[in-house]
Structure 1
Amino acid sequence: MAGAAAYHGPSIEKEIIYGITLALMAGGLWKMHHWDLQRRTREFYDLLDKGIVTTVVEEDD
Structure 2
Amino acid sequence: MSGPRIAHATLKGPSVVKEIIIGITLGLAAGSLWKMHHWNEQRKTRTFYDLLEKGEISVIAEEE
- Normalising by structure 1, what TM-score? 0.89
Q: Where do 1:22-33 residues align within 5 Å?
A: 22-33=26-37
1:4-45 Cα distance to aligned partner (Å, 9 max, x none): 330112111000000010000000000000000000000001
Q: Work out whether 1:8 is the aligned partner of 2:12.
A: yes
- Large movers: runs of 4+ above 2 Å: none
| 2:21 aligned residue | 17
Unaligned runs of 5+ in 1: none
Unaligned runs of 5+ in 2: 1-5
Q: CA RMSD in A?
A: 0.9
Q: Work out whether 1:55 is the aligned partner of 2:59.
A: yes
Work out which of the two has the higher radius of gyration on C-alpha atoms and give 1 or 2.
Answer: 2
Distance 2:13 2:56 in 1: 63
Distance 2:46 2:31 in 1: 22
Q: What percent of counterpart residues are identical?
A: 61
